[in-house]
Amino acid sequence: MTKQHRTCLVKALFCFMLVASVILLNALTPATAKAAEKPYIYSEMTIGTGTTHSDYFGYLKNDKYTLEVYNPVKKATYSFTSSNKNVVTVKTSGTKAYLTGVKAGTATITCNQKLNGKTTKVGTCKVTVKNAKAELELFEPLPMGTGSGWFIYWMYRNNDAKYTFTSSSKDFSFKEVEEKDGDFVNIYQTYTAKKPGKYTITVKESYNKKERNVGKFTIEIVKATVRSTAEVYEGDEFWAFEMVDFARTDCKYLFDFGNEGIVDIYNSEDGITYVKGIKPGTVTVKIYEDTDKADKSKLIGSCKVTVKELKLEELNVYFSATETYVGDLYFYIETYKTPYHAPEAVTVTSSNPDVALIEEDVIPGYFRLTPVAEGTVTITVSCGDITKTETITVYKDEYELYGY
């Protein structure tokens, strides 16, 4: 065999081996990758005392603190143990461990796998348990009377515990309410305030026959007050309680506006009270609390309501650009009226449509300027008695505009 033939044979064998190795590698890759996916658990997690998670509004009964085995082996069984049952207890269920926080602290959860009579360790997880904490989430005082809402922000709330709220005064009470909605438990707070003032609330938690404080905060209660003035355009309306600050939610209000025909106050089908401007002028609206008639002893204040004529007061104009070039896309001219629904129409014109063409856009108040030919034009925007202008320069091409 010649040297040339031997060389060709070696090359052929090399190519065959290379192709075979690629095919074999492709055939083995999925199995190898699958074998590399070993079972594992998270190495760290933080939970609260108790068994279930909470959110701002409540909790799901089955949303438990869970540690899970990922990539489990089908025929294997798994077990979980806690290094400190005084901090965390564990209940194994298949490939999952349901954790219960007993008290604040840390514990290590060890997960073992048993397969074909052999036990191996999957991994460990450092679990930190934090005590519940309640913080007040109020940005302003609460009105007199009775009310409800989500006033508390809970951190690691223990849904297996009992919470009590103690007030510093008999004139103010505060408590928590749990309402079941299927598997969800809604949690909110209610209060009753007999007098205005500042009250201190202490929150205590009872869990595993132990009691501790989880929060202490101050709530301010104020009487309803009436704003001195209000405005509305003729034909428009606003919510009547915009005239009242810290209105009570547990009593009726009477809005006495006389018979001058300047405003009308009415209740909508859904029970909301509105003030509607009928004609330009000013009227004094007397507001009474907790009564169906004009009782002086129930008067909390008066508001002067001014009904304004619906006409243009201001026009703001914004040009996306003041320079463009022939062949460029259109740009926008934006116009905004004050009030936005003033009856006067906006018009936009070009001093030379052969240089810059103006078209009204489908968006109300928007206009498109399209460059047509080289030159300079004046754009005039008019509405009622207001007129504004802008000079637009159109260059023959983008090179002339940008200088390159």
Show me where the domains of the chain are located: 44-130, 133-222, 225-308, 314-402
Domain topology for 133-222? Immunoglobulin-like (2.60.40)
Q: Output the CA angle 31-33-35, nearest 5 degrees.
A: 70
d(CA 316, CA 378): 17
- Please say if the pLDDT value at position 143 is more than 50: yes
What is the CATH number assigned to the segment(s) 225-308? Answer: 2.60.40.1080
pLDDT at 38 (0 to 100): 94
Sign of the alpha-carbon torsion through 382, 383, 387, 393: negative
User: Which residues are registered as beta bridge partners of 362?
Assistant: none
* Full-model pTM: 0.76
Identical fold, 225-308 and 314-402 = yes
- Please say if the pLDDT value at position 370 is more than 70: yes
What is the CATH number assigned to the segment(s) 44-130? Answer: 2.60.40.1080
pLDDT in tens, 384-400: 999 999 999 999 999 99
Domain topology for 314-402? Immunoglobulin-like (2.60.40)
d(CA 117, CA 5): 59
pLDDT in tens, 29-44: 333 334 458 999 999 9
DSSP 39-106: -B--SEEEEESBSB---SSEEETT-B-EEE-BS--TT-EEEEEES-TTTEEEEEETTEEEEEE-SSEE
- Please say if the pLDDT value at position 8 is more than 80: no
User: Which residues are registered as beta bridge partners of 81?
Assistant: 110
Mean pLDDT of 274-302: 95
